[in-house]
Structure 1
Amino acid sequence: MSEIFVMYELDQPGAARSITGASLVEGRPVRCVHAAPAAPGSTTTPGPRTLCGKDTFAMMPSPGRPTDPDSSWYAAEYAQLVCAQCDAVMEG
């Protein structure tokens, strides 16, 4: 698989966090962590859909991208928030 972007699906401002201690991105709790391929013809822009098929338009890309093939594609602090469908594709 080529370039992968980690995408944060965010709750609305002021929403209760579903996971205690979940990190905030731009002051909003992260609801779910997805993976998305790069947009066609680009290595710097996420594509329009995640690997599970969700629209990336309203999602926030992670500031960093996975580079170490021996590490997980998502940050450890988000392990409880990872989309099971995206994770299955990444692991497969």
Structure 2
Amino acid sequence: MSGIIVVRELDTPAGEGAVRRVHAAPAAPGTSTEPGPRTLCGRDTFAMRAAGRSPSGEPGSPWYPPQEAGLVCPSCDAAMDDG
């Protein structure tokens, strides 16, 4: 699953506060560590923070941090399942 960056949508636009939602975003062109401008569900990644985790691609392993399973964006999750 190379080319996917896990990003966190936070409660405040300043990049602080609790995690509201966890999204998946394609990597920006020319990098494997920075998210592109939009998540797989179409949200702007500008105010989001990279989770420091990339999907492993291992069968059965989640693309998101397991401790944040309850915060996963359903649309991004569906897009990852289709991928």
Q: TM-score, normalised by structure 1?
A: 0.77
Name the structure 1 match of 2:6.
Answer: 6
CA distance in 2, matches of 1:28, 1:79: 18
CA distance in 2, matches of 1:79, 1:41: 29
C-alpha RMSD over aligned residues? 1.9
* Residue deviations 1:47-91 (CA, integer Å, cap 9, x gap): 000000000000000112122422100011111110000000000
The 5 A counterparts of 1:3-82 are 3-12=3-12, 28-70=17-59, 71-82=61-72
CA distance in 1, matches of 2:6, 2:22: 7
Gaps of 5+ in 1: 14-25
Q: Which amino acid aligns with 1:12?
A: T
CA distance in 1, matches of 2:52, 2:17: 15
Alignment length, in residue pairs?
A: 80
Once the two structures are overlaid, the 10-residue window that deviates more, 36-45 or 57-66, is: 36-45
CA distance in 2, matches of 1:74, 1:29: 16
1:27 Cα offset (Å): 5.7
Q: Which amino acid aligns with 2:40?
A: L
Q: Which amino acid aligns with 1:57?
A: F
Gaps of 5+ in 2: none
